């Protein structure tokens, strides 16, 4: 992070000048590009994850990113390879060992917890074997916008495009299988195959988000924007759009804050996302209270 001293940048409230200053650095341009890609992909995938009540699986896949990137640093290969390799592998294990039927939820939770424990153990092993500076592993946990290359942005764009394209194809049957899996299966929808495919997409999206927010704070982009959007509206199309916009605002707002302050990017992204969720929750509660008050008033008027 940039050090907070006399030479640190100062936010001037002249947005045009501030953005020109930030975007004069190639790494900031790449950070904003990567943030836009990751926030949109994670918001869309996270929307289905929240609806399917698979946040525990999403958390486990984010944990799997930790040993993946740690092993990549240990052996000297690209951290992106470690992120995607371990996350997708963990998703395949959860999909393969889970069962269908009435006990599917409990079985998946047990498998997910087992995978998470093993991933954490591997991560700590790789960290203990790492003999370099601890700054690299720390960035894996809490995120950093420094050092994002044009090649990484291109990789994120390609993977994100593939994830969104697959979701566009399977979105309607996946939504059907999520809302009523038994009826969907009865009508010939491949529920188990869709579940496995979605877990793979979730693993890819989690690997993308981990490179921005860090593995411990990946939920800031995977869960909170989607949960906030679902608080605001029950219409799927509008809710997906709102989730993407909220995720983009959280990520870009976090990048701006982290540029001017010497604190982790993940903290700012998470704080902005959490604030939005609280406001949406309070707004929905207030709207419901006003609706009940009006209903009571009409009821009293009719009785009179």
Write down the pLDDT at residue 200.
93
Determine the length of the chain. Answer: 304
Q: How many domains is the chain built from?
A: 1
Please check whether residue 25 lies inside any domain of the structure.
Answer: no
Residues 236 and 48: beta-carbon distance below 8 Å: no
Write down the pLDDT at residue 79.
80
Write down the pLDDT at residue 303.
47
Please check whether residue 136 lies inside any domain of the structure.
Answer: yes
Write down the pLDDT at residue 2.
43
Phi-psi region of 261 (alpha: psi -120 to 50; beta: other; left: phi over 0): beta
Write down the pLDDT at residue 48.
94
Write down the pLDDT at residue 220.
80
Nearest CA to 141 among 113, 163, 120?
120
Estimate to the nearest angstrom the gap between the alpha carbon of 259 and the chain centroid. Answer: 21
Q: Is 188 exposed, middle or buried (0-12, 13-18, 19+ CB in 10 A)?
A: exposed
* DSSP states of 94-129: HHHH---STTHHHHHHHHHHHHHHHHHHHHHHHHHH
Residues 170 and 178: beta-carbon distance below 8 Å: no
Tens-of-pLDDT digits for all 304 residues of the chain?
A: 444 454 667 777 777 887 888 888 888 898 899 889 989 999 999 999 999 988 888 888 888 888 888 888 888 888 888 888 999 999 999 888 865 555 555 667 888 888 888 988 888 888 888 766 545 556 666 666 667 788 888 988 999 999 999 999 999 999 999 988 889 888 899 998 999 999 999 999 988 888 777 766 677 888 999 999 999 988 999 999 999 999 999 989 988 888 888 777 778 888 999 999 999 989 888 877 777 776 665 554 444 4
Alpha carbons within 13 angstroms on the beta-carbon side of residue 106 total: 3
Alpha carbons within 13 angstroms on the beta-carbon side of residue 296 total: 6
Please check whether residue 8 lies inside any domain of the structure.
Answer: no
Query: CATH number for the domain including 211?
Result: 1.10.3470.10
Q: What is the pTM of this model?
A: 0.81
Please check whether residue 295 lies inside any domain of the structure.
Answer: no
Please check whether residue 248 lies inside any domain of the structure.
Answer: no
**Dihedral (C-alpha) 90, 92, 96, 100: value to the nearest 10 degrees?**
90
Write down the pLDDT at residue 105.
59
The Cα–Cα gap between 254 and 40 comes to 15
Largest CA distance in the chain: 80
Q: What sign results for the dihedral spanned by CA atoms 187, 241, 55, 163?
A: positive
Residues 62 and 182: beta-carbon distance below 8 Å: no
Please check whether residue 106 lies inside any domain of the structure.
Answer: yes
Write down the pLDDT at residue 296.
62
The Cα–Cα gap between 145 and 269 comes to 12
Please check whether residue 111 lies inside any domain of the structure.
Answer: yes
Domain hosting residue 144, numbered range = 33-219
Alpha carbons within 13 angstroms on the beta-carbon side of residue 292 total: 5
Please check whether residue 283 lies inside any domain of the structure.
Answer: no
């Amino acid at each position: 992070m940039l050090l907070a001293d006399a030479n640190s940048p100062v936010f001037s409230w002249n947005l045009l000048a501030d953005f020109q200053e930030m975007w004069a650095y190639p790494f900031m341009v790449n950070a904003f590009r990567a943030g836009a890609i990751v926030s949109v992909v994670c918001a869309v995938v996270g929307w289905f994850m929240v609806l399917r009540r698979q946040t525990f699986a999403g958390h486990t896949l984010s944990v799997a990113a930790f040993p993946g990137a740690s092993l990549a640093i240990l052996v000297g290969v690209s951290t992106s390879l470690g992120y995607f390799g371990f996350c997708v592998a963990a998703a395949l294990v959860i999909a393969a060992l889970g069962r269908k039927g009435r006990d599917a939820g409990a079985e998946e939770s047990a498998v997910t917890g087992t995978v998470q424990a093993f991933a954490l153990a591997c991560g700590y092993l790789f960290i203990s074997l790492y003999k370099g500076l601890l700054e690299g592993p720390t960035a894996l946990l809490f995120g950093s916008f420094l050092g994002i290359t044009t090649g990484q942005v291109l990789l994120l764009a390609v993977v994100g495009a593939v994830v969104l394209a697959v979701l566009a194809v399977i979105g309607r049957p996946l939504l059907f299988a999520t809302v009523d899996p038994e009826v969907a299966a009865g009508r010939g929808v491949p529920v188990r195959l869709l579940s496995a495919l979605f877990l793979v997409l979730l693993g890819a999206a989690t690997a993308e988000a981990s490179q921005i927010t860090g593995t411990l704070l990946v939920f800031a982009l995977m869960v909170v924007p989607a949960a906030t959007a679902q608080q605001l509206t029950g219409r799927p199309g509008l809710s997906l759009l709102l989730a993407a916009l909220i995720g983009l605002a959280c990520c870009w707002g976090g990048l701006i804050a982290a540029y001017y302050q010497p604190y982790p990017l993940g903290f700012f992204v998470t704080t902005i996302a959490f604030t939005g969720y609280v406001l949406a929750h309070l707004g929905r509660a207030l709207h419901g209270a006003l609706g009940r008050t009006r209903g009571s008033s009409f009821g009293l008027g009719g009785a009179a």
